[in-house]
């Protein structure tokens, strides 16, 4: 399936050291891409590179915070000099702070928006400028169901991810003429180490997610790989400004009554 072949492509995945970012990076590497990953934590970066290389992937890593515009520019330049031009950017780096809106500290709100939205813009602008010169590229922003829905205690995260959805559409509008496709992936609820404590049988939230999801299960991280490959490949050359929600159908339904089979 040459439409999905990423052989010879270089994919930069920010925050690609664990969880969903790692699953998407593995999908890209399985399709032939060379990986570049970023982190702010040396130990996580080293462990991730060992994992990738242990699976036979070509992978390199760089330590920096995507919100540091000056350092990010230096690191992108270094990546290109050492690895080659970036064909695919996955803006995956993100944080969440759970706190009721009435009591959330303003600096915490700003930090979430800075990482999840401004950091994505910084990276998109830096890599996008190179893609313009190189004749095109693929940018994938990792959005969320909170790009569409609200939920208690995640006002900053929802604001940032809602903004990222609209940033995706706006960049697609501006950059389509340069053969750059900018799309997003909106993951639903996934089985990761972070959600392990609430996925046990009998936990109210576990029951809520299973009942709320038409597929009646949590997503597995590898469920994201195919969508990432599609949006990174020639198969999506005429797909632009779209958010693909990989959520088992949650956003398609109002849900079912608790007594419905």
Spatial CB neighbours of 215, under 8 Å, sequence gap ≥ 6: 248, 249
Name the percent of the chain in helix, strand, coil, to the closest 5.
50, 15, 35
**Active-site choice (52, 62, 157, 189):** 157
What does the DSSP 8-state code read for residue 139?
E
CB 80 within 8 A of CB 131: no
Token pair belonging to 82: 């050492």
| Residue 157 annotated to the active site | yes
138: helix, strand or coil: strand
Give the Cβ contact number of residue 7 at 10 Å. Answer: 9
Q: Which residue numbers are catalytic?
A: 157
């Amino acid at each position: 399936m040459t439409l999905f072949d990423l052989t010879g492509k270089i994919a930069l995945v920010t925050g690609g050291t664990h969880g969903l970012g790692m699953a998407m990076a593995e999908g890209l590497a399985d399709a032939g891409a060379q990986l570049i990953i970023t982190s702010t934590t040396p130990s996580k970066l080293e462990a991730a590179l060992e994992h990738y290389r242990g699976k036979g992937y070509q992978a390199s890593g760089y330590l920096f915070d995507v919100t540091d515009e000056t350092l990010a520019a230096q690191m992108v330049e270094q990546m290109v000099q050492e690895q080659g031009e970036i064909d695919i950017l996955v803006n995956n780096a993100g944080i969440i702070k759970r706190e009721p809106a009435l009591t959330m500290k303003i600096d915490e709100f700003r930090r979430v928006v800075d990482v999840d939205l401004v950091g994505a813009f910084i990276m998109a602008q830096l890599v996008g400028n190179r893609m313009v010169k190189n004749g095109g590229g693929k940018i994938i922003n990792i959005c969320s169901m909170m790009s569409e829905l609200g939920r208690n205690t995640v006002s900053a995260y929802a604001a940032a991810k809602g903004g990222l959805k609209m940033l995706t559409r706006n960049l697609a509008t501006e950059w389509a003429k340069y053969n750059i496709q900018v799309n997003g992936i909106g993951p639903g609820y996934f089985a990761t180490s972070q959600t392990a404590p609430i996925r046990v049988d009998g936990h109210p939230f576990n029951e809520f997610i299973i009942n709320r999801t038409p597929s009646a299960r949590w997503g597995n991280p590898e469920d994201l790989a195919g969508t990432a490959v599609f949006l990174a490949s020639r198969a999506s050359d005429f797909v632009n400004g779209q958010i693909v929600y990989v959520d088992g159908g949650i956003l398609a339904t109002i849900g079912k009554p608790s007594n419905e089979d």
